[in-house]
Amino acid sequence: MKHTYKFVVLALVLFILSGCLYPSSQLEKNQIPNQAQLDMVQSAVDDYRERTNGLLPIRTKSNDTPIFEKYIVDFNLLKEQGTLAEVPGNAYENGGIYQYAIINPETNPEVKLIDLRTTEGLRGINVKINLYRDKNLYPPFGEVVGNGLYTIDYEKLGLEHAPTINSPYSDAVLPIVMDSNGTTFIDYRIELNNALKEYDHSYQEGEDIRFLLAENTPFLPVYSLPYTIKDEEPVFMTE
């Protein structure tokens, strides 16, 4: 009997500790497949639009907000309207690692994901760049990669390797580029090159091909510059 009691107590302690040792983003509710969560929120957004004569449940942002970060889903509005009972477990608002956003708001609103790990990764690099700029006149420009675009001279930042961001689309790591003002962007050319080969499209030179990723995958190519297609390859639209 005593052994049984000890086993129960031990199991209970381990259960409690398991909840404490792992961050909420690692809990089971935050690991539900993205598509299941997306379908649930998409349905809620569609219902909301029907109840509000076409309005979208989004937070108000300034007009100069980049397109893929502009239309963030407001879960409070969905809950108030009764179209969503619970915020998805993988949503930032519920301790998860994704932010839900909408593309094509005026024509065909679709719910997509922003992987906030890319946000954190880029923020960490920006902190180092800002510290460098506090002591130097110019940002740590590296090699020219486009018209007014540069790599980051990682050695000036005291880094051993060029900074990268883990791609939300694959196992690839994505470079970071910088404009002449020192503003950083994620370089999605690796993923765009794959997307041009994988998905049917009719994009022409001069058109923004980032929507090839946005419309065919769950994730949005946030913190990016516009890209177009040239000789069947992705290039910065500034080139």
Tens digit of pLDDT for each residue in 132-178? Answer: 999 998 999 999 999 999 999 999 999 999 999 999 999 999 999 99
Q: Looking at the predicted structure, is the pLDDT value of residue 24 above 90?
A: no
What Å distances lie between residue 196 and 10, 97, 209, CA to CA? 54, 27, 9
Q: What is the mean pLDDT of residues 96-119?
A: 96
Q: Looking at the predicted structure, is the pLDDT value of residue 26 above 50?
A: no
Whether the Cβ atoms of residue 83 and residue 96 lie closer than 8 Å to each other: no
Backbone torsions φ then ψ of 91, nearest 5 degrees: -80, 145
Calpha distance 137→59 (Å, rounded) = 37
Q: What's the pLDDT band for 59 if we cut at 50, 70, 90?
A: very high
Calpha distance 95→203 (Å, rounded) = 38
Q: Looking at the predicted structure, is the pLDDT value of residue 113 above 70?
A: yes
Task: Kindly state the tokens that stand for 66.
Answer: 């980049």
3-state secondary structure of 175: strand
Full-model pTM: 0.85
Whether the Cβ atoms of residue 96 and residue 24 lie closer than 8 Å to each other: yes
Q: What pLDDT does 196 receive?
A: 96
Tens digit of pLDDT for each residue in 181-235? Answer: 999 999 999 999 999 999 999 999 999 999 999 999 999 999 999 999 999 999 9
Q: What pLDDT does 36 receive?
A: 85
* Dihedral angle, C-alpha 38, 44, 47, 51, nearest 10 °: -140
Mean pLDDT of the chain: 88
Q: How many helices (H) and strands (E) does the chain have?
A: 6, 9
Calpha distance 169→189 (Å, rounded) = 12
Q: List the beta bridge partners of residue 98.
A: 91, 115
Backbone torsions φ then ψ of 57, nearest 5 degrees: -80, 75
Q: What's the pLDDT band for 7 if we cut at 50, 70, 90?
A: very low
Q: What pLDDT does 86 receive?
A: 93
Q: What pLDDT does 60 receive?
A: 87
36 versus 1: the higher-pLDDT residue is 36
Q: What pLDDT does 20 receive?
A: 44
Q: Looking at the predicted structure, is the pLDDT value of residue 29 above 70?
A: no
Q: Looking at the predicted structure, is the pLDDT value of residue 39 above 50?
A: yes
Lowest-confidence segment of 27-31, 32-36, 123-127 by average pLDDT: 27-31
Q: What is the mean pLDDT of residues 31-50?
A: 87
